[in-house]
Structure 1
């Protein structure tokens, strides 16, 4: 074998190896030796209002256990269970015949005592005319005056008994103390009920509903400081939004109307109440609800996607693509989370922040940024293709 014939196979083998190396560098997963690609989005400045979320329970402003105020036999139930009733409408009737008889007896007693008062007053008047001729002694005058005062006192007692008897007749007709929705009737006609026992039914008001929730001590202190600094709106004007467990978002709007005067030391929280209109009857007392409470007045802030924030030992940072596509670590102060965007301090609006590919970006190293499309809030749109990457340098393009 000649020297030329041996050199040909070696040359072919070297060409194959070089081709294989070239395919490995330029194939999938490789970057042809260039900077790694990352997805970036511009930091956005927009109007921000902070919110806090709580879990609440709905309660009716008025909840009344309807009880009998007189003892007797239930004659009739005058409502349908679950019915909406107005204040003063009849609910139950108790046999009032005995109470009406007491009224007649008290009326007769009052009439008799009125006669005694009139007689005692006439006797005293006649005796006082005879005093001038010494026909009546002073002792007799005193006795007649005492008799008149006694008759008048007895009349007042009889009149009070008459009032009580008439009230018993009125109490025998049990009416709705407030407007609202009734519960089930716990007694049926024919049952004997006592004074206050048992509960005949329960009535809850329905024109509005309260949402009670507990705010932590830290949240309460933050709100109080913001109020002192003028960074929040007045309590009665605070917009409160609510959503039920089967609803998306917070479709109902109410207002804050009560904050308790002390914190519960066992839970380090304070009770807060919001009120919502319920004229449509869509809210039932006892339901759980989600509450969204405005935590501050509106202000302009710079926001970035929350996933762009990372941790460098003990500080929060974002990676910003600077001049010449060099990665710059930027310490930030995270603020409120609003619609998936985090309010931050330390980043200027318009700066490109790395959102995806954080593990491929190193401070001081170059990257290939791909600008993502964002919505009107500054949030990258899922599934939207990134914009075109910056053009490569002319020297690199010519290779």
Structure 2
């Protein structure tokens, strides 16, 4: 039998052994936790040819927009349209009081009749004087004077003929008609309004079947796009496939074309103003609408693309997490270019052989083992086209 002292020593030894086992067990558990792989989804970096798009804020403008003004002064006595109506070229819009212009026409016509009668009489007298001169009954000076009188009366008749035409034009101008097909705005004049010739705007209207979208681009963007074609900007091919997105996010189904470019940069903003023409058969595009212009830019060969969701922004750096050959997480700093659909263009930091984590990034730290599931762009609903 063990003495009391021996039993005490034995208990101490057993306790030390148990503590050692516990410590050893804890260390093993910690090692197991560290070695447990983190489940993530990853995707292969894409390398392919892409065409970058340039986007600009634009505004819809009507084509052939005109401010319709009266050619004669007077009170509006009749209105044949309502604000917002779609009208055809030549359709009557307003009628101006024509009484004074009809009176002026009658007066001019009467004066013309008298002037033409005087001219006819002087013409007959000239023929008679010519016969008398041939018979040596009058002097040649008398005939010369008569011919001058005939020419004078002819000129008077011509002046009254011009007055009749002017008076007739004034009468015709009391009926105001549409100069083009289009829609009139709602800010038209009312019946009874006195309008001044050449200064009072009766209504503004513009064509509907086609419209402009006006936008501005910077000098550098202009120079970059010029690389697509060596021709003049208005004739180059870079502006042939213009697309617009409306304020509700809908993509307008008809492509447009850049048809106008300003002759120089704006002194205030340093930008170039351009206009793209769009067909508008259904009248969807209304002047004043906001639209986002997208123009295909310069094609880029063998571009490196990484999904936007794979990129983390930390301070002023862009980072992605690489899955290395041992399935270990490895952070990588990258230099990004423009967005292309669901991707970023990568200027530096990645190759086509790299695989990047796209899901589970919040659980991943440098050096962690990864349980990787490779996914495809289709599974993540990624697209090159924005």
TM over 0.5: yes
3-state SS of paired residue (1:49)? strand
- Alignment of 1:21 with 2:27, yes or no, is yes
Q: Give 2:35's aligned residue.
A: 31
* Structure 1 spans left out of the alignment, 5+ residues: 382-399
Aligned pairs for 1:381-392 (under 5 A) are: none
- Alignment of 1:65 with 2:67, yes or no, is yes
Q: CA deviation at 1:310?
A: 7.8
Q: CA deviation at 1:156?
A: 0.9
Q: CA deviation at 1:285?
A: 0.8
Contact 1:235–1:256 (CA<8 Å) still a contact in 2?
A: no
C-alpha RMSD of matched pairs (Å) = 3.4
Q: CA deviation at 1:368?
A: 3.9
Deviations 1:89-121 (A, max 9, x none): 111111212222222222222222222222212
Q: CA deviation at 1:205?
A: 1.9
Deviations 1:215-259 (A, max 9, x none): 011111111133239xxx943762111121113456553222122
Change (3 A) 1:66 1:250: closer
Q: Give 1:392's aligned residue.
A: none
Q: Give 1:351's aligned residue.
A: 354
Matched residues in 2 for 1:155 and 1:254: separation? 56
Q: CA deviation at 1:141?
A: 1.8
3-state SS of paired residue (1:205)? strand
1:4 to 10, 13, 25: 10
Q: Give 1:91's aligned residue.
A: 93
Matched residues in 2 for 1:236 and 1:323: separation? 43
Greater shift after overlay, 245-254 or 135-144?
245-254
Matched residues in 1 for 2:22 and 2:332: separation? 47
Q: Give 2:292's aligned residue.
A: 290
Contact 2:329–2:370 (CA<8 Å) still a contact in 1?
A: no
3-state SS of paired residue (2:260)? strand
Q: CA deviation at 1:210?
A: 1.0
3-state SS of paired residue (2:35)? coil
Q: Give 1:375's aligned residue.
A: 377
Change (3 A) 1:126 1:249: closer
Greater shift after overlay, 318-327 or 308-317?
308-317
Aligned pairs for 1:296-315 (under 5 A) are: 296-297=298-299, 300-306=302-308, 308=310
Deviations 1:36-85 (A, max 9, x none): 87754212233422101111111111222222211222211111221111
Change (3 A) 1:143 1:256: same
Matched residues in 2 for 1:325 and 1:15: separation? 33
Aligned pairs for 1:136-155 (under 5 A) are: 136-155=138-157
Greater shift after overlay, 299-308 or 71-80?
299-308
Q: CA deviation at 1:314?
A: 11
Matched residues in 1 for 2:303 and 2:268: separation? 37
3-state SS of paired residue (1:92)? strand
Matched residues in 1 for 2:236 and 2:347: separation? 27
Q: Normalising to structure 2: TM-score of the pair? A: 0.83
Change (3 A) 1:298 1:142: farther
1:213 to 212, 215, 219: 215
2:54 to 52, 55, 73: 52
Q: Give 1:184's aligned residue.
A: 186
- Alignment of 1:224 with 2:230, yes or no, is no
3-state SS of paired residue (2:191)? coil
Contact 1:54–1:290 (CA<8 Å) still a contact in 2?
A: yes
Matched residues in 2 for 1:88 and 1:68: separation? 15
Q: Give 1:103's aligned residue.
A: 105
Change (3 A) 1:311 1:188: closer
Contact 1:321–1:369 (CA<8 Å) still a contact in 2?
A: no
1:198 to 200, 203, 206: 200
Greater shift after overlay, 128-137 or 75-84?
128-137
Residues matched between the structures, number: 372
Q: Give 1:132's aligned residue.
A: 134
Matched residues in 2 for 1:23 and 1:380: separation? 40
Q: Normalising to structure 1: TM-score of the pair? A: 0.80
Deviations 1:261-286 (A, max 9, x none): 21113212100111222221222211
